[in-house]
Structure 1
Amino acid sequence: MKSFAAVTDAGSFSAAAARIGSSQSTLSKHVAALEAHLQTRLFNRTTRSLTLTTDGARFYEKAMSALDTIEAAEASVGLEGEAEGILRLTAPLTLAESRLVAMLTRFMADNPRIEIDFTASDHALNLVADNLDLAVRVGQLADSRLIARKIGVARRIAVASPAYLERAGEPRHPHDLAQHQCIVYSLLGTGSRWTFEDGGSVEIRGNFRADSPNMVRAAAMAGLGIAVNARWLFEDALATGELVHVLPDHEPVRMPIHIVLPPGRYVPARTRSLIDFLSREFAADPLLAPDQSGIPAP
């Protein structure tokens, strides 16, 4: 069963053999024996591809559940051993680029038998349909069925380009934003109302909206208006002077950051290891640390 799961995960006998330190012939014999036992074909084989049959896909789902149960049983008596296997995860692109790549590099150095299959997306992917082990999500969670663990917060700021501020003036209070062009990040879900940690809020307007944080940053740098997003998105542009921090005494409401897991499955050792690792990494980062950590905001 483990050989079958390894081949399915890797997409070929050769890749699976390389990953688990076996040989193609051994894996082929194991899968052939399993097919003979089940009296059905599990893979569609051609010279160029290897795909699951309908029976194979059904068996894979049940087999993974069984293997998870075995792993949990082994862990309960101290036989779990070193975490290994493929971890499939997703996170927003800008968070991945600015923070997660470095974190995952350290994690993989500590866990050399774990492979990472990463999908960068600013949209909330379906963990079950997209066969993902976990997601890092910024903002309020919409799906209450998911297993969630809060690991941090996104500290946000308002920014604008020097050219825009020279042309339109600099706001001194959040209510001044109603008289400015504001750039809307459409995936945030708060619409055209921006709220602040001091309890204030303002209905903003603007001629540009985007579903990409990178587009929001580019629009702000181009002088299209004032933008609000996670501070990590603007770090480089603030350092070079291409963007200016506006309303520094009025912090936009912080967004929670969660790790979310698919519902109803045992969490294998490799996933638990990454969750614990990321929790420590986020707690040590002043821009990401949970509010209760005691680390002051920058």
Structure 2
Amino acid sequence: MQGLLSETAGLVTFVRTVQTGSFSAAAKSLGATPSSASKRVSRLEVLLGAKLFRRSTRVLTLTPEGEAFYERVMPLLREIESSTDVVQSHGATSGHLRVSLPGEMGRLLLGPIFSNFMQAYPGISLEIGMTDRHVDILRDNYDIAFRVGHSDHNGLMSKTLSHLDMVLVAAPSLIERYGKVEETAKLRELPFARYSVQGRPYPVRFADGLEILPRGRLDLDSATAIKEAAKLGLGVAHVLKRIVQKDIDDGSLVVLLPNCELEKLPFRALHAFGRMPNLRMQLLTDFVTNFIRASA
């Protein structure tokens, strides 16, 4: 153990090399030379008795041992980096967070985060990625990801912040073509703008357990795209109610089967830092939770 702890420079260099993709880029971020960065990792490999990288003149890739070591070591180094949180007051909290937000929900959150959270915590800087794709938190180097829906999160800590109402909506023009929808069986006859990830469309689930796999007119992986397709009459949309509420209010979209309760979807925060998130992450998670619940 003492031998590994004595190679902290090698550990940091190894993690940074994986994140940046090369010794030269890692060295630049650490204020070192490429040759010294390479030597640090080589010493670490000797100590471990295993090759962490496959080296060639053009490509630097992780070995299976390197992948396993990275997934174990990177969260630990992040924890050490954030250890100052335990002696900082909330107002004095500082540091950087790399955050993943779901696309359309993220748009609802950006204004409050910019105008309220960042003003309340001037020492915290943010890098925000917005996508409905379920990012690989470890591989893509995110500190925390906010996700809507059910998903595998092996190796991650997950906290459910809220449960969000879903709704079935369609443009008035689509209803004119296909007629009123007065029972769930009618949904099987309608075209949908379906949410689909890696070729797998998501079903429509009702609170009573009924599940319908809609007929696809369009398969999309973005709530924004699904909403726009629905407004143009291309298909029914099964989406979060809050992202189409304005369209419902102005008549651009009409709610189908309003008396049939749909299964709510969980809104989660995921991270890979052991059982407790660092203070920056906790502050942002609490802020997002309070905003989501207050705006329900």
Please report the TM-score for the alignment, with normalisation by the length of structure 1: 0.70
Partner of 1:213: 223
Give yes or no for contact 2:76–2:273 (8 Å, CA) kept in 1.
no
Q: Which residue of 2 aligns with 1:283?
A: 293
How far did 1:70 drift? 7.4
Q: Which residue of 2 aligns with 1:86?
A: 96
1:27-66 to 2 correspondences below 5 Å = 43-44=27-28, 53-54=37-38, 65=76
CA deviation digits over 1:136-161, x for unaligned, max 9?
01111212321011101221101111
1:229 aligns to 2:239 (yes or no): yes
SS at match of 1:43: helix
* Alignment of 1:253 onto 2:263: yes
1:272 maps onto 2:282 in alignment: yes
1:138-157 correspondence to structure 2 within 5 Å = 138-157=148-167
Partners of 1:154 and 1:144 lie apart in 2 by 23
Q: Does 1:109 align with 2:119?
A: yes
Alpha-carbon spacing, 1:264–1:210, altered in 2? closer, same or farther (3 Å):
same
The answer to whether the Cα contact below 8 Å between 1:174 and 1:201 also exists between their aligned partners in 2 is no
* Structure-2 residue corresponding to 1:179: 189
Determine if contact 1:139/1:188 at 8 Å carries over to the other structure.
no
> Whole-Å Cα distance in 1 between the matches of residues 80 and 222 of structure 2?
40
Gaps of 5+ in 1: 9-40, 287-298
SS in 1 for 2:238: strand
Please give the TM-score of this superposition, normalised by the length of structure 2. Answer: 0.70
Question: Percent identity over the alignment?
Answer: 23
Q: CA offsets, 1:70-123, max 9 Å, x none?
A: 754772xxx323210111100111001123442453111110110110000111
Write the distance in 2 (CA, Å) between the matches of 1:74 and 1:207. 50
Distance 1:177 1:138 in 2: 23
**Equivalent residue letter for 1:133:** D
| RMSD after superposition | 3.3
Question: 1: distance between equivalents of 2:41 and 2:75?
Answer: 11
Q: 1:174, 1:200 within 8 Å by CA — same for their partners in 2?
A: no
Q: What does residue range 19-34 of structure 1 map to in structure 2 within 5 Å?
A: none
Structure 1 residue 261: Cα displacement: 0.2
Q: Is the 8 A contact 2:144 2:271 kept in 1?
A: yes
* Structure-1 separation of matches of 2:247 and 2:26: 53
Give 1:293's aligned residue: none
Could you tell me which amino acid in structure 2 is paired with residue 150 of structure 1? T
Output the CA distance in 1 between the equivalents of 2:154 and 2:137: 13
Task: Tell me whether 1:68 sits opposite 2:76 in the alignment.
Answer: no
**Equivalent in 246, 252, 261 of residue 242 of structure 1:** 252
Q: Is the alpha carbon distance of 1:55 and 1:124 closer, same or farther for their aligned partners in structure 2, counting shifts above 3 Å?
A: farther
Choose which of 131, 135, 143 in structure 2 pairs with 1:125. 135
Q: Deviation of residue 166 (structure 1)?
A: 1.0
1:196 corresponding residue in structure 2: 206
The one-letter code sitting in structure 1 at the alignment partner of 2:161 is I
Partner Cα separation in structure 2 for residue 83 and residue 272 of structure 1: 11
Q: Are the aligned partners of 1:98 and 1:232 in contact in 2 as well (CA < 8 Å)?
A: no
Aligned partner of residue 260 in structure 2, secondary structure: coil
For this pair of structures, how many residues does the alignment match?
241
| 2:218 maps to amino acid | F
Q: Is the 8 A contact 1:151 1:279 kept in 2?
A: yes
- 8 Å Cα contact 2:75/2:272 also seen in 1: no
Which runs of 5 or more structure 2 residues have no equivalent in the other structure?
1-7, 17-24, 45-69
TM-superposed CA distance for 1:194, in Å, is 1.7
SS at match of 1:163: helix
